[in-house]
Structure formats: structure tokens, C-alpha cells
Amino acid sequence: MELISIIVPCYNEQETLEDYYREISIIRGQLLQMECGLEVLFVDDGSKDQTLKQMKKLAEENPWIKYLSFTRNFGKEAAIYAGLTHACGDWVGLMDVDLQDPPALIPQMLATLREKEYDCVATRRVDRKGEPVIRSFFARAFYKIMRHISDVEIVDGARDFRLMSRQYVDSLLKLKEYNRFSKGLFGWVGYKTKWLEYENIERTKGETKWSFFKLLMYSIDGIVAFSTVPVRFAAWIGLMFCLLAFVFILVIIGRTLAFGDPVAGWPSLVCIILLLSGIQLFCLGLLGEYLSKTYLEVKKRPIYLCRETNLEGASDGKQG
């Protein structure tokens, strides 16, 4: 019989875990009728509440529930990577525990993948209902910028909820980078993806773990990981200002020869110095972003550390 492994990253999710378990159990029954088994792999991303305890209890009662717990909070990307490494199903799914990703779509996803026309069925939400306006605005702007500066397709509104073929997951696992930006990695590996659309569903219980600042940092990570346009942009600005300066020099020489050299114009000089040093520092910062990411990359630290698990032969997420 075929097997689906569903990876579920959890961070302080004691309110939602039980509800998720109830829903996914129903779907498991439906999948068994389609002659497909289901295992759930909960990845506890260093939760500080009762999440791990609940996971262990569920795992004791159900042999199809696995868990893997990190030594601290390594972030959702690390949890996804840990899940992908340990999922052994013929099909591998990824979803949030807060029921914002409807489990009822899984049988439909499986049916699509079984036709072998697609390697992955992914989901995107068509609206951002219930989200703060300013957050939606920045999210839209991010996707628009990304479309222009990156070769990799990053779909607006794409959620992490997806079901993938074994081959697709094996390809994903070949990307062992430390700065993981899954939305980009999914696009980078290529293959054929079918997109299912649904309206945004609000979190049932608990709270979102993503503050505006955390999302902003995440988007910068995404840009640095999937585009080198910003550093090239620095070079272009530099070149443009050199040309401008050259023209100015000619104008000033001409003016001095014609009208002499009256001492004036210091306010404009201050403005120009301020502008240029601002641009220089900005570009230096851009370079620094790439350099710091490279620094983290060459250190080859493990992507996560596992404290406890009921998986056999679990390993820490070493790179390379």
C-alpha cells in the first residue's frame, strides 16, 4: 500500500494540536479507503508550552504518529527541512497545524498526483481576508519585487500546504543550504506543479507566530537567497553617479573659466555629500547582507538539532 507522510511544524501549538489530530484522523480514514496509508510527522520547533507532551501522548496512542523535537526554536524552515529528511512516504505533504490549511484537500491532491501528470499539488489563497491591511500591502509588494529581480517563480499568496512526489522531495533534499527559503526552493527545483486555490481561512485558536518585523526579515532573507540584483543595483548607481560627477566637473570648469570662482554653494555641497554618503552606506549594507549570509553558509552549522524523537535513526540536520 502507498504511504503519505505529512510534515507538521509546530511551535507553541498546545491549543490547536488536538483539533488538528481530530481532523487528520478523519482524512486518514478516507485515504485508507483510497488504499493509501498516512503517517503524521510532528516537528516540535522548541515549543515552550505543552506541545511536546501532547505529541508524545498522541504518538503513544497512535503508531502512525511520529514526532521529532528540536533542542530550541530553529524556525519553521528548519522544521520543514527536518520533516523532509525523515519523511519516508511515497508522497510527502506539508501543512500548518492551525487548520488554516484544510486537510480535506489531501484526498483530492493524492488523486491528482496519482495521474502522474503533476509532481506536486500546491495551494494558494486568493485573498488575504482577515489580515492587517499594511501587512497585505507589503506582502504584495514583496511578490511584485521578487518577480522582477529573481529568475525563480515565487507565487503570490502561495501557502506551504502541498503534497509532493518522492522524486520532488529527493530533489529538494539535494539543496542543503543553511539559509532556507522554501517558497523559493519549491520553485527552484522545477517539476510540474498544480495550484489549488482557496479563500483565506483564519486560524481557529492560538496566535500567529509571525510579527510584522519577523515577516520583514524573512522577506529580506528571501531576496538575498534568490536574487543578486540588489548588489548589481549598487554597481549601477555607482556608475550613474560617476557619469553625473564627470558632467558636473566639465560644467564647473567651464563656468569658472567664463565667470571666475565666487565662493558660494556650500549648502548644495552639504546636500550632495549627505546624499552620496547615504547611498554608499546603503550599498555597503546590501553587500553586508550577502556577506553575512555567505558567512553563515560557510560555517556549515547543522540546520537543526534533535533532542528527542520516536523515529528510528533520526539525525541532526547537517549540511553538505
Q: Give the integer Cα–Cα distance in Å for 40 and 309.
A: 13
Q: Coil, helix or strand for 197?
A: strand
- Least distance in angstroms from the C-beta of 225 to ligand UDP: 18
Interface with ligand UDP, residue 209, by CB under 6 A = yes
Per CB under 5 A, contacts with Mg ion among 2-61 are none
Interface with Mg ion, residue 200, by CB under 5 A = no
Q: Please calculate the CA angle 78-174-192 and round it to the nearest 5 degrees.
A: 95
For residue 31, the partner it binds in ligand UDP, Mg ion, none, with Cβ less than 5 to 8 A by kind, is none
Long-range CB pairs of 245-251, under 8 A, 24+ apart, other chains included? none
For residue 44, the partner it binds in Mg ion, ligand UDP, none, with Cβ less than 5 to 8 A by kind, is none
Interface with ligand UDP, residue 98, by CB under 6 A = yes
Counting Cα atoms < 13 Å in the Cβ hemisphere of 5 gives: 22
Interface with Mg ion, residue 98, by CB under 5 A = yes
Crossing angle of helices 133-149 and 229-259, rounded to 10°: 80
What does the per-residue mask of binding to ligand UDP show for 34-53, with x meaning CB under 6 A? -----------x--------
| Assigned C-alpha cell, 2 | 502507498
- Least distance in angstroms from the C-beta of 160 to Mg ion: 10
- Least distance in angstroms from the C-beta of 22 to Mg ion: 18
Interface with ligand UDP, residue 96, by CB under 6 A = yes
Interface with ligand UDP, residue 295, by CB under 6 A = no
Interface with ligand UDP, residue 222, by CB under 6 A = no
DSSP assignment, residue 249?
H
- Counting DSSP H helices and E strands in the chain, the numbers are 10, 8
